[in-house]
Each structure stands twice: as C-alpha cells, then as structure tokens.
Amino acid sequence: MATGPVGGGGPFRYRLLVSADGGRHWATAVTGTTRLNPQAPGVAALGFESPSSGWWVSDPRSIWITRDGGRSWHRHAVG
C-alpha cells in the first residue's frame, strides 16, 4: 500500500507500507518528504510485474524498485 501526491505545493509526505501476512499487519518500508510543483500533474502508482519484482512512483522525481517481493526498496531518481 502506498500514498502519493494529490496536488498542492507541499511539502508532501509519502509512505510505502508492506505486509507479510496477507494484510493483517503493515510496516513502513519507505517514508519521505518532497515539495511538489502545484502546476505539475499528480503522479502516484504502485505495480508488480511478478510476485518478487515491482515499482512505486512516489513523486514526479522518484521511482522505487523492489526485487524481493517488497521487503526492501531502492530509490531511482528521475529527471
């Protein structure tokens, strides 16, 4: 589960939460703060290509990647 920007100039606080028991308990895997451009479109997306490989767009400048089913996430800067 993840939060993403919904507009405004920020600062915007985002979080990526993970569960290892089918959603009964959740833990924060990634958290951060960014200032968004209020003229830019809101961007937030979370997807998995397989049970182990996925991505999360937390803000217009960051893509987070997992290769272990969401246990760990690594940020990749965009633009």
> How confident is the model over 57-72, as pLDDT tens digits?
877 777 889 999 888 8
Can you give the pLDDT at residue 15?
A: 78
Can you give the pLDDT at residue 31?
A: 77
* pTM more than 0.85: no
Beta bridge pairs of residue 18: 27
Whole-number Å distance between alpha carbons of 33 and 8:
13
Whole-number Å distance between alpha carbons of 79 and 70:
24
Does residue 5 fall inside a structural domain?
no
Does residue 56 fall inside a structural domain?
yes
Does residue 71 fall inside a structural domain?
yes
Can you give the pLDDT at residue 37?
A: 56
Does residue 6 fall inside a structural domain?
no
Q: How many domains does the chain have?
A: 1
Structural domain span for residue 62: 12-77
Does residue 2 fall inside a structural domain?
no
Residues of the chain with pLDDT under 50: none
Does residue 70 fall inside a structural domain?
yes
Identity of residue 75: R
